[in-house]
Amino acid sequence: MQGLGIEARKASALISRASTETKNAALKAIGEEILVNRTALMTANEKDLDAGRNNGLSDPLLDRLMFTEARFTSMVEGLAQVASLDDPIGEITDMSYQPNGLQIGRMRTPLGVVGIIYESRPNVTIDAASLCLKSGNAAILRGGSEAIHSNLGLAACIETGLQKAGLPVTAVQVIEDTDRGLVGQLITMDEFIDVIIPRGGKSLIQRLIDEATIPVIKHLDGVCHVYVDGDADLEKAYSIAINAKTQRYAVCNAIETLLISDAVAKEILPRLAAGYQEHGVELRGCQTTINILGSEVQVSPAVEEDWYAEYLAPILAVRVVDGLDDAIKHINHYGSNHTDSIVTESYTAGRRFIREVDSSSVMINASPRFADGFEYGLGAEIGISTNKLHARGPVGLEGLTSQKYVVFGDGQIRQ
Amino acid sequence: MQGLGIEARKASALISRASTETKNAALKAIGEEILVNRTALMTANEKDLDAGRNNGLSDPLLDRLMFTEARFTSMVEGLAQVASLDDPIGEITDMSYQPNGLQIGRMRTPLGVVGIIYESRPNVTIDAASLCLKSGNAAILRGGSEAIHSNLGLAACIETGLQKAGLPVTAVQVIEDTDRGLVGQLITMDEFIDVIIPRGGKSLIQRLIDEATIPVIKHLDGVCHVYVDGDADLEKAYSIAINAKTQRYAVCNAIETLLISDAVAKEILPRLAAGYQEHGVELRGCQTTINILGSEVQVSPAVEEDWYAEYLAPILAVRVVDGLDDAIKHINHYGSNHTDSIVTESYTAGRRFIREVDSSSVMINASPRFADGFEYGLGAEIGISTNKLHARGPVGLEGLTSQKYVVFGDGQIRQ
């Protein structure tokens, strides 16, 4: 592992100053390698699938693991897309003269070496490698052991692509050993790694918080809310509240709790409950919700834990609140600072919600499901951060960079 | 300590949405309190000085501890200056429309609760409190035990100032207990504190790196360089190299190693050596340096450790290098990624130095001594960060903030 770190540090010095042209050539070459080696990659993937079936992996996990036609295409297209993004490195901003004639600004630089720890999806190997490469970072990738043959197959494609573009093959290193203890080593190699980005479940992320000596760009929970204000346009409220829960369930930017102002609860709740019922969503409501919906709709009483819950499933907690203040208080207390949206036509309510809700994305009259790097126009995404330091919200190329000060003088000395 | 954290979190919710007017009123009121309570503060400071003398504190430490006329004035002026800075909170940038009509941008927000750990200078209490206040953060301050009476005196002024402005007095809390074990508690209260900023020696910072579970904005070493290029204007080179070492010694942005291209070493080294000798600076040189300077100038041979050393004293390591590549390699290997400057008239050499030197500030034809928040026009500074994540280089108000995404829609839902 030490050796891996040393190699990554060396490669980082070279890739950090590689031209945009060279980096794009590598991305293109990796895509070509994936197409050329399709059969071999399929065979490697079959090995992982066989092992997974033998080890009793669940169907959803097997599904994530599998190379399909669509996933092949999307890996290759993803590489082309990252190549088409503007190169963030070297961009100078905020350049201005000081009274003494010094010209001072900031230049965007790579972070250095990025460690990425992820689970069974092998396509993350390509996503992560391409984003690190384009942003001039060296990468050390640690994928799930279930996907090891697929990942090593992809690693070979990356290696050849880097080589063809004249970049060091150690700019992207995939850890071959599947020993779990290695993660512990990886996250304490602060001499060689500048940041760790986990893409995985809560137990992995909690372990990183406890053990890592390297800064972590993390995302713990996605307890997102829609608040239907007393001044909401109820048509917008209906479609946003339904979309935010039912468009997909197992994603972090789907809502887990719906808040409704008591001013409109009686009017909109029955209609919403019918909509959720059509989608097979189980409702857990506060007492007022239950009272309004009466006995026609199946609502179980929500308990305190429901307000904290990230169901990632067709379950929704519903609470009638006493207006805007109450809604903001609920969100800042029970939420996970991820993404929250108000539905309102009130200028003042919108303005206050935006300012006072402390989440990585705050919205007015839009579905929280839009909170991702592609929808925000970042072009790509390595994850969504609920950190406040460094990157917050969807993390694209910019989140993999830093800024240094550049100072141009004419011989100025300090008095 | 738990109670302190809970109070800080509560205060953070209120101060994060305080208006600029209210925050400025508090800053002004604190300044007035300091002036009104001058005698009491002097008495408290005398207590600390007496205790320090009895405990055998060194003269420089006693000097740092002492309230002088000038320090009083500078505390009060500092408060007025922070009040005059633009309020960073709520600023929206990068706002643009996506094809689906969503308008997406970023809004600057406070970090939340900032913990600051510092040593014996009591004026840091006011600096830190004012910057946290202006940036809408709650602060927990932990000063050195030697300054406890002075700090508690200032804490009382802050409390009254906050009160007069109608802000919660718990927005700035000064820890009264001087037990060293409390630092260990403070740096693991990740539930209540969002970032720790240490202002102290290496041992404190190393302890934070090892033990803190909260992100740290840190600055470990200041091993800064001036590189005199083969294409340097030697007049500029002389004045910058002398200024960078001798203008002040015990500061992180003074240089510790001077690199000189072999193309100009013979011409400029004797003149520089004479200049340093006048200032009483001890030189430690590479073999070439010793050969060039001959027996007239006292130069001791530099050993490997000298290239890593942060002397913070009138000692300078001098190395003759084989041109630009060699200089960049030396700086990236031995330096501390703080501040480095090239002296050159060559367009190409300057361009490469700026891009390839991996430091928080890189300069052309300017003294590294300029690397600080005031000189960079940030208006104030809470420290200089050698982190790559979040704030890098001099940290002003912006470094105490985060950015969240704001999304304005018309009822958009995700397909």
* pLDDT per position as a tens digit, A64-79: 899 998 988 999 999 9
Decide yes or no: CATH 3.30.70.100 for domain A2-218+390-408: no
Which residue of chain A comes nearest to B195, CA vs CA? A389
Neighbours of B236 (CB within 10 A): 21
Residue pair A323/A262 in contact (Cβ under 8 Å)? The answer is yes
List, as ranges, residues 203-262 from B with C-beta within 8 Å of A.
209-210, 213, 215, 217, 233, 235-236, 239-240, 243-244, 247
The whole-number pLDDT of residue A40 equals: 96
Flag if A389 and B393 touch (Cβ within 8 Å): no
State how far the Cα of A173 lies from the Cα of A164, in Å rounded to an integer: 16
Q: Which of A10-19, A136-145, A198-207, B149-158 has the lowest mean pLDDT?
A: A198-207
What is the 3-state secondary structure of A107-161?
EEEECCEEEEEECCCCHHHHHHHHHHHHCCCEEEEECCHHHHHHHHHHHHHHHHH
Instruction: Report the mean per-residue pLDDT for chain B.
Output: 94
The whole-number pLDDT of residue B259 equals: 98
Taking the whole predicted model, whether its pTM rises above 0.90 is answered as yes
Flag if A367 and B405 touch (Cβ within 8 Å): no
* Top-ranked range on mean pLDDT: pick from A59-63, A129-133, B219-223: A129-133
* CB-based contact, B405 to chain A, within 8 Å: yes
Number of A–B residue contacts, CB under 8 Å? 207
Q: What is the DSSP letter of B163?
A: H
Q: Which of B94, B389, B403 to substitute to test the interface with A, most A CBs within 10 Å? A: B389
State how far the Cα of B39 lies from the Cα of B281, in Å rounded to an integer: 42
Q: Which residues of B touch A393 (CB under 8 A)?
A: 404-405
The whole-number pLDDT of residue A223 equals: 96
- Here the tokens at position B197 are 């900023």
Which residue of chain B comes nearest to A347, CA vs CA? B408
* pLDDT per position as a tens digit, A151-187: 999 999 999 999 999 999 999 999 998 888 888 999 9
The whole-number pLDDT of residue A297 equals: 87
pLDDT average, residue stretch A50-57: 95
- ipTM of the complex, rounded to two decimals: 0.93
Whether the per-residue pLDDT at A381 is higher than 90: the answer is: no
Domain ranges of chain A: 2-218+390-408, 224-375
List, as ranges, residues 161-190 from B with C-beta within 8 Å of A.
190
CA angle A202, A203, A209 (to 5 degrees): 85
Instruction: Please state, in angstroms and as integers, the Cα–Cα distance from residue A73 to each residue in A12, A148, B370, B377, B415, following that order.
Output: 29, 21, 52, 49, 21
Whether the per-residue pLDDT at A121 is higher than 90: the answer is: no
Residue pair A256/A311 in contact (Cβ under 8 Å)? The answer is yes
The whole-number pLDDT of residue A1 equals: 85
Instruction: Please state, in angstroms and as integers, the Cα–Cα distance from residue B241 to each residue in A46, A405, B326, following that order.
Output: 64, 20, 19
Whether the per-residue pLDDT at A120 is higher than 80: the answer is: no
Closest partner residue to B360 (CB to CB) among A190, A356, A405 is A405
Closest partner residue to A354 (CB to CB) among B107, B354, B414 is B107
Whether the per-residue pLDDT at A248 is higher than 90: the answer is: yes
Nearest to A328 by CA among A316, A340, A336, A317: A340
Whether the per-residue pLDDT at A208 is higher than 90: the answer is: no
Whether the per-residue pLDDT at B120 is higher than 80: the answer is: no
Residue B357, Ramachandran bin (φ over 0: left; ψ between -120 and 50: alpha; else beta): beta
CA angle A230, A234, A240 (to 5 degrees): 105
Q: What is the DSSP letter of A377?
A: T
Q: Which residues of A touch B370 (CB under 8 A)?
A: 102, 407, 409, 412, 414
- Nearest CA distance, B49 vs chain A (angstrom): 32
Q: Which residues of B touch A104 (CB under 8 A)?
A: 376-377
Instruction: Report the mean per-residue pLDDT for chain A.
Output: 94
The whole-number pLDDT of residue B254 equals: 97
- Nearest CA distance, A244 vs chain B (angstrom): 8
* pLDDT per position as a tens digit, B281-314: 999 999 999 999 988 889 999 999 999 999 999 9
Whether the per-residue pLDDT at A60 is higher than 90: the answer is: no
Q: Which of B405, B406, B408, B410 to substitute to test the interface with A, most A CBs within 10 Å? A: B405
Q: Which of A229-243, A375-389, B149-163, B234-248 has the lowest mean pLDDT?
A: A375-389
Share of chain B above pLDDT 70, in %: 100
Closest partner residue to A411 (CB to CB) among B213, B240, B390 is B240
Decide yes or no: CATH 3.40.309.10 for domain B224-375: yes
Closest partner residue to B195 (CB to CB) among A111, A356, A389 is A389
Q: Which residues of A touch B358 (CB under 8 A)?
A: 16, 109, 112, 404
The whole-number pLDDT of residue A405 equals: 97
- Here the tokens at position B46 are 């005398």
Whether the per-residue pLDDT at B60 is higher than 90: the answer is: no
Whether the per-residue pLDDT at B201 is higher than 90: the answer is: no
* pLDDT per position as a tens digit, A218-229: 877 899 999 999
* pLDDT per position as a tens digit, B78-90: 999 999 999 999 9
The whole-number pLDDT of residue A178 equals: 80
Instruction: Please state, in angstroms and as integers, the Cα–Cα distance from residue A30 to each residue in A26, A27, A75, A218, B264, following that order.
Output: 6, 5, 10, 28, 46
